[in-house]
Structure 1
């Protein structure tokens, strides 16, 4: 084995500039001229980013292939072109130069050759132009396998209403108003000048800007192939071309051309959920997250820039997946990868099996059967990802690592066997290292991470340093929070929102065949082809869904909260820093009349880090009467001029200890913030902390977004949602353990047979499908401009035999063709919740691995659609007085237990159903809300809820967990006859 190539600076620059060519080769489509041309509003040759006659002024002998190509370019030059419309871009590309072997190129010479057409790929360009044009030919060959551009579809003819779709059919207008020139502006401002700069070129920042601009454009204007953006296609082409050039750099030009180059996926994986689950404090978790993110950034620089091997093609909570050339690796190469990670966060590195490599030409969608494409694309993401989920990465991956960790215990004299381990990582000794010289390679510590403070907090200095960094970053941008006490609601409770999209069938490409390109006689004729670019687009659509969801929580949470700053006297500031040794950006507590107020010390003042309304409710000073809902006046009047103790925060179930005392000089109201902590937003998983009293609103809002953006394919793309409610002092490890357990509600790969009860067209371009199990779906049937959607909203009339089986077009039924009695197969979405009143409650969250049914709560998980039903049940039930609600629920549940009825028996027993109805009818309903005054559907819903146990659940959620106040409209119960 020779290992990965060690590139010269010249070779590295060449590969990175050809990568840029991959992104730019189709950039002529990033114009309004391109959209107008496709609508019949002009003639535009988008292929000519630069002028072939200007950059190739000396032309020699042209063979037949080259002659036909040159003639076509001459015809294209007579139309409007990108180079004639944006000459500055073409001129700048001419200044970005590199050498490939003995040949010199500028980027301006190459875009027109970066095409998969045989006459370009097979022409003798050395005779014609004195150069082989091989860098561009590689890009052109990869263009042909990254995606398929000849699928047909329906032409969009209205430029002003031209749409860009998501991977699942949800559309946006490219130009919001007629005549807008947003794409032209994006093209004109492309950051191509950076490509001239060589060593000073900041690739990561450049890619971020390029992505922002290229995502505005689409590779194809026809429906439904308008879902792949220029970024999706360009990045996939660039990644393949980069890996291909790295292969060529070591092996030379392949005899059969670029199609004979082999690729493979390398996975560098760490189970983030497991790593996070080993932390007690949120700051430890966030510190670990930042450390992992930084390690993966280092890995990107190593593989993508220093080695120039390829790009990260996919990443999620399991790790990073790189598309690389099939080149032998050495132990030295593996050691370089591991060097990007700290000892306690070492990843599992997997290059796959010998049969996992993929030959470039075997991904040619034009000449490869659909089933074969699916089998080969499995090796791109699905198989490596499944293997990563099955492998628990060991910490001690080799003897060298074990020796390094052993050295942390023997440095500066052997420690006793019972020496305390770090409470965060569990590997290093508390207060390690005694001397910075003993630190692991690549690790540096801030001065605040000293040994004494580490001992006080039962941490090694490495973890102490990690803990301080999230707080430091938060202090610089305090619009969000990193403190769970601030996320807690006015009752001191939080909720972990867990959202999971089941993408397995999409990442393995098997479900792409359920997306129809064209019809014949009202039946599907042609399905979308799977491609690397489509898989990338699917993953990034899901990632955007979750990131935009978290960003939009401000509007769901409602009015933002605020903090206060508590300013000690100047003398006390000096004493707190010098004598007490308070650490900047670390958490402390202020003892206010025996009630602890969570704060952070910034070196000059304390900034509160908890929900102030909840603090006041615990403090309960006499002065609170008449102060209203705003706690700041009360806090200011009570704190100013008073003397308080600063406390060292204690661990779970421990007692805080005093550190110092100070007098408050003044208090100041600070800026508002949104009480949300985003823990994870990956394509298939989102975990976010929100106030408990907003959790149900968040769940309903996310469900609405899912139904709008993914409602066309909801039968094939289920979303599972869980809420873990908990008191603010619950260890974060227990919360995350509960969240991880909730992922089990999905069960194994499972298609359920559902029977349609009724179908009806509903307003706003949806088809309302009601199933005989009571679930009702509003499935979108119109594109954004009102065109009938005959591409996405299909149901399966037969279940696939295996998870990766190809789904035939004859097994698809359009939603508008459904009728009462139709049998379809769906993958249901689900919802569950739990309240961790004790940490041991996490063990109640266990599901049957086959069905996803809750073992201890057979009524759960609910269908996701049941969220709306639960809300309606509560709206009606809460009109009863508090005591009446409890009496009704207790009577129902006591009778169920006395009659020894399980979940199935409750539903089958007519006697029990009658008892529930009689109990509800006999309750003391208030005036104006009598039982007989409720609508028949409302009464039926309440009775069904009592039979299923939903009434018990809504009482638990709203009265016991959320502690909701009595509605103002509630009147005292009356005893008159119902």
Structure 2
């Protein structure tokens, strides 16, 4: 069962053996990293004196074994020693536990060749648990609450009663490998309680009836790789279990008990507990349970101020925040007959025997979801990387003075200035001061500071110190409730303001799991974050992006917008999918120039790259009129410049170009298209020809400004095309964009608004947009490719730019006019001028080449 993914190479086994001094690990999608090093040092450095401290030793082993390989030969170099050994240990541990249980019942031991296992699932609808959070502090507290509960169940099953091993976890729960014992959940321990009861008891000790999770055991066992029976592998039903999430309901008996003789309002965080009973909790419309948990988060933050948990600190200078949300669609990658079958263990040879496809083994499936989870962390989750994208804030201000009454330790409050401006603060019990948790530049601007005083966080801090230390008494209020009411909590006089060095990154991670990722960043930095995720995706998933699309979304909103509405908007945007069987025609295919590759990815795609131009197949009524053209680069390089990748970068070809039949191509093999009853031939990317009809699932980018909470209800997508459903006043929708068009959008904006000599002033750009949109309405244009409107847009830009128009390369002129005629130029104006509010001073002249 452990070696199921070690498909033997045909012929010379040393053919693809890597040299000892240049052995590179690969991702399960073919992306190779830097050579391995320090393997012996890492092994010798394991804390062998901590063998009995399971979590400590396991973490150290994961770090050491994660940098080693289960097999160093290409293309079997994608499964790390940690992935492999973790599954080996999980299977062995469960088999041993099962043998002991069977021997206890029947005084016999199982046949080693007949060993089977089951999955034990603790699954629930995590979005319902987290998305009801009214603010980011509540979300972080509830996320920690869920983690704590699952950790207790994990400790029970892995250590207290060592029956299984957790092999998967996301925001919807956990999966464990356990023995093939049909009545496992009904087994009783020495205390007379069943395993099911013990699991629920551990969960209950944290969830306290607010979340009821029922353990589910596989009905049928599986044996991974059938010993001595080639081709009879049984893959764990992981994909099925991930789709079987129980409703996140509370315990009815507990809820009934809470509300017995209680007529208060519901807690604004849980929604099922009554407020109180303490006066402090009732004032904040919370139950004591959640008052304690949110207060704990705030106290931990005050002791560790290089992070933030406050929305207003994440807001940009305009008081706006962005939730960047992304999804990797793994639906067809975790099934036995899924897309792992499109990856090869041996190279296909023209006229030879069929190549060996990679087996969707347990270790390989684990490697897939671990790689996707690691992609988010590596791309954007590490503090250093995030700081380079969104910057850091070096200081916070602390207001100190004489309080009229005591304040709740580490509770959030608001100070209402004479000007009517509210200042968000947190009472730090240890420092005896109120920490300002606003963006200082935005706060200074709101109060009335001139632009010069708001130019940097440091200048804004200096201005605020001077403003606040004027001897006036400041009133402190409880946070404003949903009805707009404030309660006085006290006042502070004899004010002094101190500047403290904190160096925090203004960003908050909301969700990070294999298939989805969400992070809060300043609105002004959202495009930089989105562009970075896109760039990393195009490098690390280059070989499989036609089968594993990335859907990237950004929800912009004001800092006071209800967070549940923001989360709901992001969830709705991430529901869109790209049909895996969408038909595209290859318009051009060829080796990419080295200068193009360097400009695209700083050479990270390697020395073998194919440039593809595709167009949606004409005649399919499902297809949108937008997103019909796609140009992309696909790498077939390895870490060795002398070895090309013949195992990963393949495209589904439904119909070959008439003059180049599939039989004449060397690297081909047949598979079934997942999700539909159709077979297609996979052709290596370097052998795809102009005129081929291929299946391609494109990646997309979308954005929305949540000016009001109800705007989220307009976010719906056509299942067949992936395009938004048009709003009532629209003939068609212009979003989402293809992911590749994010580069086009930024180039067009630079061309028209930033770069000399074609830059136009903001007022001119608004006038251009207004003229084109007025004609769209007057002429009742119903197509994005309306020829008359396209010609009109051409004339508008021509008149605005004069002689400069003809100096712009033709491809850029065509892009600009087609985007204006389709309505996408209007989208750019909304994004850059209305949402990001780029002032005239920021559209400075940049002497650089704009290339489309």
Question: Shorter chain as normaliser: what TM range?
Answer: 0.7 to 0.9
What's the counterpart of residue 212 of structure 1? 63
Distance 1:951 1:708, change over 3 A: same
Aligned pair 1:821/2:646, yes or no? no
Whole-Å separation in 2 of the counterparts to 1:684 and 1:254: 43
Does the residue aligned with 2:321 lie in a helix, a strand or coil?
Answer: strand
Whole-Å separation in 1 of the counterparts to 2:194 and 2:443: 55
How far residue 733 of structure 1 moved from its aligned partner, in angstroms, is: 0.2
Q: 1:912 aligns with which of 789, 796, 820?
A: 789
How far residue 919 of structure 1 moved from its aligned partner, in angstroms, is: 2.1
Does the residue aligned with 2:243 lie in a helix, a strand or coil?
Answer: helix
Aligned pair 1:319/2:177, yes or no? no
Distance 1:741 1:943, change over 3 A: same
Whole-Å separation in 1 of the counterparts to 2:712 and 2:421: 29
What's the counterpart of residue 409 of structure 1? 259
Does the residue aligned with 1:236 lie in a helix, a strand or coil?
Answer: helix
Distance 1:168 1:628, change over 3 A: closer
Whole-Å separation in 1 of the counterparts to 2:478 and 2:268: 16
Kept after mapping to 2: 8 A contact 1:421/1:428: yes
Whole-Å separation in 2 of the counterparts to 1:910 and 1:960: 28
Aligned pair 1:513/2:341, yes or no? yes
Aligned pair 1:460/2:287, yes or no? yes
Distance 1:280 1:336, change over 3 A: same
How far residue 683 of structure 1 moved from its aligned partner, in angstroms, is: 0.3
What's the counterpart of residue 581 of structure 1? 406
Residues 155-170 of structure 1 aligned to structure 2 (within 5 Å): 155-170=16-31
- The farther-off stretch of 456-465 and 329-338 is 329-338
Whole-Å separation in 2 of the counterparts to 1:157 and 1:722: 40
The structure whose Rg is larger is 1
What's the counterpart of residue 877 of structure 1? 752
Residues 89-168 of structure 1 aligned to structure 2 (within 5 Å): 142-144=1-3, 147-148=5-6, 150-151=8-9, 154-168=15-29
Kept after mapping to 2: 8 A contact 1:338/1:346: no
Q: Which structure has greater helix proportion?
A: 1
What's the counterpart of residue 623 of structure 2? none
What's the counterpart of residue 118 of structure 2? 264
How far residue 622 of structure 1 moved from its aligned partner, in angstroms, is: 7.0
Whole-Å separation in 2 of the counterparts to 1:244 and 1:187: 27
How far residue 338 of structure 1 moved from its aligned partner, in angstroms, is: 2.3
Distance 1:543 1:254, change over 3 A: farther
How far residue 272 of structure 1 moved from its aligned partner, in angstroms, is: 2.0
What's the counterpart of residue 68 of structure 1? none
Does the residue aligned with 1:835 lie in a helix, a strand or coil?
Answer: strand
Residues 323-722 of structure 1 aligned to structure 2 (within 5 Å): 323-327=177-181, 328=183, 329-330=185-186, 332-339=194-201, 340-341=203-204, 342-343=207-208, 345-349=210-214, 351=216, 354=219, 356-359=220-223, 362=226, 364=227, 367-369=229-231, 373=233, 376-377=234-235, 379-388=236-245, 391-395=246-250, 401-410=251-260, 414-416=261-263, 419-432=264-277, 451-509=278-336, 510-521=338-349, 525-548=355-378, 549-551=380-382, 553-569=385-401, 572=402, 575=403, 580-593=405-418, 594-603=420-429, 604-621=432-449, 630-640=459-469, 642=471, 643-652=473-482, 654-662=484-492, 663-722=494-553
Q: 1:729 aligns with which of 554, 560, 569?
A: 560
How far residue 653 of structure 1 moved from its aligned partner, in angstroms, is: 5.2
Deviations 1:860-914, CA, capped at 9 Å, x for gaps? 2111111111111211222222222222222222222222222xx231x322221
How far residue 352 of structure 1 moved from its aligned partner, in angstroms, is: 5.0
Whole-Å separation in 1 of the counterparts to 2:696 and 2:155: 42
Whole-Å separation in 2 of the counterparts to 1:833 and 1:623: 29
How far residue 673 of structure 1 moved from its aligned partner, in angstroms, is: 1.0
Residues 753-764 of structure 1 aligned to structure 2 (within 5 Å): 753-762=583-592, 763=594, 764=603
Task: Please list every run of 5 or more consecutive structure 1 residues that lacks an aligned counterpart in the other structure.
Answer: 1-141, 196-200, 396-400, 433-450, 972-978
Whole-Å separation in 1 of the counterparts to 2:3 and 2:175: 22
- The farther-off stretch of 677-686 and 935-944 is 935-944
Whole-Å separation in 2 of the counterparts to 1:613 and 1:314: 43
TM-score, normalized by length of structure 1?
A: 0.75
Q: 1:898 aligns with which of 744, 755, 778?
A: 778
- The farther-off stretch of 500-509 and 295-304 is 500-509
Deviations 1:79-138, CA, capped at 9 Å, x for gaps? xxxxxxxxxxxxxxxxxxxxxxxxxxxxxxxxxxxxxxxxxxxxxxxxxxxxxxxxxxxx
Q: 2:147 aligns with which of 281, 286, 293?
A: 293
What's the counterpart of residue 302 of structure 1? 156
What's the counterpart of residue 653 of structure 2? 797
Distance 1:666 1:256, change over 3 A: closer
Whole-Å separation in 1 of the counterparts to 2:708 and 2:16: 59
Deviations 1:156-211, CA, capped at 9 Å, x for gaps? 34222110111111112234xxxx6x11111111223323xxxxx22112211110
Whole-Å separation in 2 of the counterparts to 1:249 and 1:723: 52
What's the counterpart of residue 279 of structure 1? 133
Deviations 1:704-742, CA, capped at 9 Å, x for gaps? 000111111101111101100000000110000001101
Distance 1:477 1:940, change over 3 A: same
Kept after mapping to 2: 8 A contact 1:343/1:405: no
TM-score, normalized by length of structure 2?
A: 0.86
Does the residue aligned with 1:504 lie in a helix, a strand or coil?
Answer: coil
Whole-Å separation in 2 of the counterparts to 1:969 and 1:242: 62
- The farther-off stretch of 689-698 and 271-280 is 271-280
Kept after mapping to 2: 8 A contact 1:565/1:605: no
Aligned pair 1:234/2:77, yes or no? no
Task: Please list every run of 5 or more consecutive structure 2 residues that lacks an aligned counterpart in the other structure.
Answer: 187-192, 595-602, 616-627, 655-669, 727-731, 754-758, 846-852
Kept after mapping to 1: 8 A contact 2:614/2:631: yes
Distance 1:622 1:645, change over 3 A: farther
Distance 1:521 1:544, change over 3 A: same
What's the counterpart of residue 37 of structure 1? none
Aligned pair 1:889/2:769, yes or no? yes
Does the residue aligned with 2:575 lie in a helix, a strand or coil?
Answer: helix
How far residue 639 of structure 1 moved from its aligned partner, in angstroms, is: 2.3
Whole-Å separation in 1 of the counterparts to 2:453 and 2:266: 48
Deviations 1:549-576, CA, capped at 9 Å, x for gaps? 222542443431133232423xx2xx46
CA root-mean-square deviation: 2.5
Whole-Å separation in 2 of the counterparts to 1:612 and 1:628: 9
Deviations 1:647-701, CA, capped at 9 Å, x for gaps? 2111245133321121323412322111110011100000110110111111111
Does the residue aligned with 2:78 lie in a helix, a strand or coil?
Answer: coil
